[in-house]
Every structure is written in structure tokens, then in C-alpha cells.
Amino acid sequence: MDMNEFKTRLVTTIHEQGAGCAALFEGFCTAELKGGSLVFREIFGSGGVYRPGEEFAIDDVWEDRKADLVAWFDDPDFCVGLSAVGGSMQG
């Protein structure tokens, strides 16, 4: 799977979950739809409670994280309640 296929499939999967849901890539980041665009945000925390960090471009980490990102589709995880930087969310 290349990066564009990954993004397309991820957008569809998140959209199917409904408003307010984000894909949770445990220990790394979340991905959410924001104004129709796919937005990746680093996360910090553990045990199902996370603090969102900065947004980043998936292009910057694709080569290093490709295997983990693509494997997410085998056992997808989602979170709700993603808030602005400084907030928290539940996994």
C-alpha cells in the first residue's frame, strides 16, 4: 500500500465511524477528519487517556512508520473527544 492508498482508506474508515471519532495509532498519533481534510496529531499518555500534541504531516514519517500504520487496518482502534492542544481524550 502506498501513502495515497493509505490516506484514502483511512478517510473512508474514519468517516464510517461518524463525527468526533479519530483513528488511534497507540503510542504514536491520532488521525481525524477536520474540515474534510485528514489531520495527524501526535499523542502523549497511556492507559486509554491521552493528551494531544502537535499536528504533523504524515509524509514526514511515512517511510519510518509505514508498516505500523498499514497494520492498523488489521485491528483498528478509535478514540472520541479529541480536543485542542492541551486537552485530553479517551481511547
pLDDT at 29 over 70: yes
Whole-number percent of the chain with pLDDT over 90: 65
Domain that holds residue 10: 3-90
pLDDT of residue 57: 96
pLDDT of residue 73: 97
Grid cell in block for residue 15: 468517516
Residues 63-78 pLDDT 10s: 999 999 999 999 999 9
pLDDT at 33 over 90: yes
Give the count of domains, the chain.
Answer: 1
Taking the C-alpha atoms of residue 12 and residue 52, their distance in angstroms, rounded to an integer, is 22
pLDDT of residue 81: 62
